[in-house]
Structures are given as structure tokens and as C-alpha cells.
Amino acid sequence: MSAEKAKADRRRQARVQGAWNSGPARRSGGGVKQTNKVDGGDASSAQQKPQVPAANQEFVFDGSVSEVLAREAELASKPVTVDKDGDYELSIGRNDVKAVVQMRQKFLSDAENRRLLAELNRLPWQQRMGLDQGGQPYQEPRETCWFGRPYTYSHVKWEATDDSWPQVLLELKNRLADELGVEFNSVMCNRYRDGKDKIGWHADDEPSLGRHPVIASLSFGETRRFMLRRRDCRVQTLRPLIGDPITVPLQSGDLLVMRGSLQEDWLHSVPPEYHDKESRINLTFRVIEHSPNEQLCLRPGPEDNENKQVTLSARPGQMQAQLCCYRSLIVSNSGLVAEASAALDRLSWRSAGSCDVAQLDLAASQPQELSPLARLAVALATLTGNARLKVGAYARLAAVRLDHGSKHLPWREANFGDGGPCQTAETFVAVLALGDAKALAQRPLEIEKRLNSPAQGNLKSGQIFLRPGDAVTLLHGFGADWRYQLGRAGRAEPHEPAVFLFLTPDQRDIG
Ligand SMILES: O=C(O)CCC(=O)C(=O)O
Ligand SMILES: [Fe+2]
């Protein structure tokens, strides 16, 4: 085991097993200048109240598995109040991504606030109709307006109230860019007229925001309780680091930043109050990545070795459809890519009508005997971190060759939950490009949202251009709502072959 890995494992162990001890200061990214004060403001008081970790604490506990589970259950059941500055790591979810809230009280001074509140009250507020879970219209119990890129959520289309941003919102957007290093392009404005106005349990997990959005919330006027609770359906994959539910009293001038898996693993709300309340305005600044009906186009830039993850669409309560584009495989595997390209001619190709295909039996070979193509597939599986693709019974490697303008791979769906050996609704298809670079430039991998798909999200279709050694993975809910193809080239004539390796956890043939 490498020293790095051993260290990472120790860190992971430490996270799930124990109590909060002080350690070196850590930051969860971003520029919130925190004071690490929690419940009284020093490490010793935080130790007495282990359910509220400060950012400079490590979680250390040597206990049996049952003790660890009991400890997690205890952590999960203690209500917590976040009322001090600091970064609060609430849980660790899929791929070890943490749900984080960062509190920065009085980010705006009282004097600034009074001026800003007066200006914000002049925004074009309107009480709108929303749709409930059952699709029934209802009048929202608050006033709202929206500035920035349009997007659709819960079948409600948000168009910018006005193309130009009011000066007061621009000023705040710029303040946040300075503070957090994030260029927000949209803002949701909520006005709670009195204590009865509210927002119900929800997550800001619309696909156009990406999987792990940074959302910055600024509050003005009356103090209201912002509540957080974990989503029930994810409990198994979530390790709580802090109690649930969480109350965050948001006062005028407070900045609350939501990060990491917070929208994926937690819900939030502003409940009604029993006592009389004055009005409160809240602004949540967001980065909207796509517009409605937008076509995704991923092209490599010059010397582009960046990997990119895109959220394509989402259905409430289900896994998002995602795509990852890997352009870095070649960096540490250039020799292998060359060897694999040379091995393409030795495959036993057969015609499958629209294209030529070859199947590689990964299960039959021992890893050390694997062909360069299979070793490349293993390198890809390692890069993508998908355990199910470790060479074995579940992994299937097929090659598709296109060497004539008319050759193509027709639209394919990627549902592997139906009867394959890998009974899962979760999609995993990895596509690795090889062969002639010019031919590949004519043959992007095309994706398309299926007709009548109820999934939410602004993207409708996409094209991903791959160079030899680049790869794409189609992930999670992809199969339910999307399909993919390799289209015909511009002209019907012979050309150098473009080859695509398809790695799936399925036994079915590609042809
Ligand atoms: O008012 C708040 O603090 C939260 C508003 C909110 O959650 C939203 O606009 O999505
Ligand atoms: Fe929200």
C-alpha cells in the first residue's frame, strides 16, 4: 500500500470512528474566512459537545463496529444549532464527498444592510403559482423574483424577471465573487412577508446547477430559522458527522454557503413561525450551467487534459443522469494507448450491419496476460474508480469500428437492469476512443434525452468529441432517460478507422 493511500485510509477510518479532537486547521474550499468557533468558541468546549465539529478538529475514536454504528446513530439524533461562524461538515456521502455549510455571520454590516434592504424591497416581487408533488398548482406562501439564466424546475419555467440585473444585486454578486471566488450568474430572491410565509422541505438539486453546486445565501431583515435534515433515502450511503435536524438562525447580514453533497444528501426549509415576524428577504446566488433545450457540446481544447463531469437530468428522489469526460487517461498511459491502437488490427472483426464489431473476453484471461486493449480498459476502470468494472465476470469489452462514412452505431439505450447479470438500475457505460484522430473528429459520441422523458433538466442532447485515448462514462440514471449513438460521418466514403471500445457491466453483445 502506498504511503498516500495508507494516509487516506487512516483519515477515512478516523472520520467514521470517533470523537472530535482538535487538529490542524482545515478548510473545505472557498474563501469564507472562518474563525473556527463552535459553541462557545474554543476547542475544549467543542470537545464536550462532540456533535458540533469545528473545522480544526479531527474525528478520532477506537471502537468496535457496533460502537461506531451506535456513535453514528447518536450523532444523527442530536439536534444541532449552527449559530457561530465556521465550516460545518454535516456528513460524508458517495465518493467521500462531504456535505458542508459555511456560516459567516454579519458578512454585511448593519448600516450596509439597512441600505440594501430598502433597495431590495423595490425588486419586482410577485406571489407566484407553484406545482406540488402531484402536479397540482398552488399559490406559493412567499414572494419571489429571479435574475440570471433561465431554467426549468418542477415544470415551472423561470425566466429572468428582467434581463438587466438591478444595481443592488450586481453589487452583492460582486461582493460574493471577491469573497468566494465564484462568479454566480443567477439569483433566486425570496421575500417572506411575515411569520406565516415559508418555504417547504426541498433541495436545490436541479440538474442545471451541477451535482455539487456552491450556493451562497444572504439574508436581510427579520431573523428566521433555516432548517436542514438528511434525506431518508440516502441514509445507507451517508455517514453523519453531525446531528439532524439542524437549525440555523439566519440573521440580517449573514452569509451561509452550501457546498459539496449538501443538495444531494440533505433537504432544507424555512418553516413558519408561531410568533409575529417582520418581513425577511433571502437571496440565493447560484451558477446555472445550461439553458433550456441546450445542446451539450464537449470539445477538447488545445492540450486539454481536463476531466469534466456534467449532470444531464434528474428525477426527484432518483439518481441523476450524468456523464464524465476523461481526457487525462493518455497522460499516464500514452505507451499503452499506442500499444492498444496497434493491437486493433489483430482483433477478429465481424460485420454487424451498420458497423464492424469485435468482442473481447475479459473474464477468460488473467490480468497479466491481458491484451493491451484490456489493460487500457482496466486503466480506465481505475481512473473512473468503478469497482464493478474490475476485470471479471461483469465487465464486457466490445470494440466498434467505423471506417466508412455510412458506418454508424444506431441509437442505443443503456438499461442494464433488465435481466443482465448485473441487476441494477444504475448505468455504467464507458466509451474509449482509439484509431485515427481525423476520423474521430467526424464522429462525436451523440447523446439524446429520450422522447417523453419526465426527467428535469435543461439539456436535451449532446455531442462529445473524443481524441484517441479520450473516454466518456455514462452514469447513474443515464439509462432511464437518455440514449447514445455514433452517427454517420458527413460524406459516404471510406476513411481511416475510428474505433470505440465499450466497457459495460453487461454480457450482451454490442452489435
Ligand atoms: O430563505 C432561505 O433562507 C432559503 C431559501 C431557499 O432555500 C431557496 O430559495 O431555495
Ligand atoms: Fe433552497
Higher pLDDT, residue 490 or 64: 490
Residue 40 has pLDDT above 80, yes or no: no
Class for the domain spanning 294-504: mainly beta
Ligand 1 center–CA 202 separation, angstroms: 9
Nearest listed ligand to the Cα of residue 217: 1
Per DSSP, the three-state class of 38 is coil
Give pLDDT, residue 20: 30
Decide if domain 1-289 falls under CATH 2.30.30.180: no
Q: Is residue 359 very low, low, confident or very high in pLDDT (cuts 50, 70, 90)?
A: confident
Give pLDDT, residue 410: 92
Q: Are 234 and 90 in contact (CB under 8 A)?
A: no
Give pLDDT, residue 495: 94
The CA-atom distances, in angstroms, between 294 and each of 158, 159, 290 are 15, 15, 6
What ipTM goes with this model?
Answer: 0.99
CA angle 68, 70, 76 (to 5 degrees): 100
Annotate 326-386 with DSSP letters as a single string: E--HHHHHHHHHHHHHHHGGGS--EE-SSSEEEEE-TTTS-GGG--HHHHHHHHHHHHHT-
For residue range 165-208, what is the model confidence (pLDDT) as tens digits? 899 999 999 999 999 999 999 999 999 999 999 999 999 988 78
**Cα 5 versus chain centre, distance:** 24
Q: Are 90 and 258 in contact (CB under 8 A)?
A: no
Please report, as a single letter, which amino acid is at residue 249: P
Nearest listed ligand to the Cα of residue 199: 1
- Return d(Cα 33, Cα 35) in angstroms, integer: 7
Of ligand 1's listed atoms, the one at least distance from the Cα of 192 is: 1
Give pLDDT, residue 368: 54
Of ligand 1's listed atoms, the one at least distance from the Cα of 284 is: 9
459-464 and 294-298 strand pairing: parallel
For residue range 149-163, what is the model confidence (pLDDT) as tens digits? 766 554 455 555 556
- Return d(Cα 497, Cα 356) in angstroms, integer: 10
Residue 366 has pLDDT above 70, yes or no: no
Ligand 2 center–CA 199 separation, angstroms: 8
Give pLDDT, residue 369: 58
Q: Are 92 and 144 in contact (CB under 8 A)?
A: no
1-289 and 294-504, same CATH topology: yes
Ordered by start, the domain boundaries in the chain are: 1-289, 294-504
Of ligand 1's listed atoms, the one at least distance from the Cα of 269 is: 7
Angle of helix 167-180 relative to helix 110-120, nearest 10 degrees, comes to 140
**Ligand 1 neighbours by CB, cut-off 6 Å:** 188, 190, 199, 204, 217, 226, 250, 268, 270, 282, 284
Q: Is residue 8 very low, low, confident or very high in pLDDT (cuts 50, 70, 90)?
A: very low
